[in-house]
A and B are shown apart, each in its own frame.
Chain A
Amino acid sequence: KNEVEQSPQNLTAQEGEFITINCSYSVGISALHWLQQHPGGGIVSLFMLSSGKKKHGRLIATINIQEKHSSLHITASHPRDSAVYICAVRYRGSQGNLIFGKGTKLSVKP
């Protein structure tokens, strides 16, 4: 069964801390997405990765294809970063459907 595992499930940090959220998957993928879901339910796509590393502002996403692992880093965290972060993968040979991780709930305290 193709699964996506995220850790940690919940994360509480102090403002300014460096945060890492991890995602592991089981077979070859064509793309991995990091998504951010706000308390109201809306989802924003943060990154799409197939190799290497991407950076946008204080967010950095990396992927190691050999180890089937990706990380999302937040530098200088801020309370407005509080959200659920979801990893989703599109497996090679699939119809293009995404498999979602269960999400990491991040709370950044001032």
Chain B
Amino acid sequence: SAVISQKPSRDICQRGTSLTIQCQVDSQVTMMFWYRQQPGQSLTLIATANQGSEATYESGFVIDKFPISRPNLTFSTLTVSNMSPEDSSIYLCSARQGSTGELFFGEGSRLTVL
């Protein structure tokens, strides 16, 4: 199994600023994902973080707003840029082991934008 450390766990930010969320996995994983969970809603996939190349974004999400890095098989970052109150959500990092399909999730980053 894998353990995912995600930070910050929560933050309160001002409109117009940017915040970078870090995700560290304690073992090499095949795939890493970033999700958003808006209040009272289920998870929505933002993008798949690809190691060494640009992330694959889902419809409605763009790189300029949510730049993602994945420099190696155990680490990824998600930046929420030029934040507005509508970006207030929980952001979750997830990983999947390719050989087993097993899923792992971080503890989430609860972001409030004022």
| Chain A residues packing against B (C-beta within 8 Å) | 30-31, 33, 35, 40-45, 48, 86, 88, 90, 95-98, 100-103
Say how far A46's CB is from chain B's closest CB, in angstroms.
10
Residue on B with the closest CB to A98?
Answer: B45
Q: Is the CB of A86 within 8 A of B101?
A: no
Subset of 6 A-B contacts with CB under 8 Å: A41-B107, A41-B110, A96-B96, A98-B45, A101-B42, A102-B42
A to B contact number (C-beta, < 8 Å)? 49
Bound CA–CA A98/B37 (angstroms):
14
Bound CA–CA A93/B111 (angstroms):
34
Bound CA–CA A35/B108 (angstroms):
14
Neighbouring B residues of A30 by C-beta, 8 Å: 101
Does any Cβ of A come within 8 Å of B92's Cβ? yes
Does any Cβ of A come within 8 Å of B75's Cβ? no
Bound CA–CA A98/B92 (angstroms):
14
Say how far A83's CB is from chain B's closest CB, in angstroms.
13
Bound CA–CA A102/B43 (angstroms):
8
Q: Is the CB of A86 within 8 A of B43?
A: yes
